[in-house]
Structure 1
């Protein structure tokens, strides 16, 4: 646990989180703009959750030794990964149990003061339909892979959270 505590206070730890989220955002944009796979509104929400993970990494990178910034980064990390997992699970459910009554909207429900789909349509405008499986790898859909990805982020979050608590208890 001592090694994890000291690792959580390094720029490398937060850089790994930042670069992982950035790489996955890059993959999403590659799938959309190069492979021409249309993201649905739930894909866009997962993309936003990934941006939250990217923000968490950047917060931790500012000063990983600062307890306040580390705590803020960990909270943003946990909220983003949890929300992303929730959305990914809902999308998998729609894929496996299609129903005309279980559909998603055509436009994201962003606050009126932050219409990301209007400001950055090439990133946040959904053009696909929920439940339509456009891509698989090893027989697993993209939504199912995103469940795995967000579980991985939550597992790493749990380790960092535990390290934060252990550090507090030791003092």
Structure 2
């Protein structure tokens, strides 16, 4: 099983699938924003960026997955992005389920001064929604609740792949 996981991570197709799933989520977010007219809050924008991190990890892993340093760089970026996205989604769910004047998110994105994404690409990164508002549900779950499940799944698979690549054995040289 360990050899299978290591061999799988050394192929391009799993990385293509990872990048494709993250791209699908970002396209869905843009459809909700521009197609359905839902306004993203600052947490939505941060979660979108975490999804873009998973997309970048898939693209990086796709370049040359047989090289261990490329594979590990992609795995680390994937894990970091999934973990950060999970934290953001959990905080967003807290804003929605426990709204109060003391439990609110900022109305403005906090990007570094050298990378003001909300100024450079406002149609993608400008938050203009309320974090505590539940404007969309599917099967009784809000969008951040779905993102908790999605980022948790990303993180779980990343940990399994990382462990499979850490265990002793030779493969993919």
User: What TM-score comes out, normalization by structure 2 length?
Assistant: 0.96
Unmatched 5+ stretches in structure 1? none
Which piece of structure 1 moves more, 145-154 or 1-10?
Answer: 1-10
Residue number in structure 2 paired with 1:41: 42
Residue number in structure 2 paired with 1:133: 134
Whole-angstrom distance in 1 between the partners of 2:86 and 2:19:
18
Whole-angstrom distance in 2 between the partners of 1:115 and 1:82:
23
Q: Which 4+ stretches in 1 moved above 4 angstroms?
A: none
Cα distance per residue 1:26-72 (max 9 Å; x no partner):
00000000011111000000000001001000110110101001000
- Structural mapping, 1:57-72, within 5 Å: 57-72=58-73
Residue number in structure 2 paired with 1:123: 124
Q: Kindly indicate whether residue 169 of structure 2 is the aligned counterpart of residue 170 of structure 1.
A: yes
- Structural mapping, 1:1-171, within 5 Å: 1=1, 2-166=3-167, 169-171=168-170
Alignment coverage as a number of residue pairs: 169
Whole-angstrom distance in 1 between the partners of 2:41 and 2:69:
36
Whole-angstrom distance in 1 between the partners of 2:125 and 2:138:
24
SS at match of 2:16: helix
Unmatched 5+ stretches in structure 2? none
1:170: how far off? 2.2
User: What TM-score comes out, normalization by structure 1 length?
Assistant: 0.97
Q: Is the 8 A contact 2:30 2:124 kept in 1?
A: yes
Whole-angstrom distance in 2 between the partners of 1:37 and 1:93:
20
Q: Is the 8 A contact 2:5 2:165 kept in 1?
A: no
Whole-angstrom distance in 1 between the partners of 2:65 and 2:164:
13
Could you say what the CA RMSD is over the residues aligned between the two structures, in angstroms? 0.8
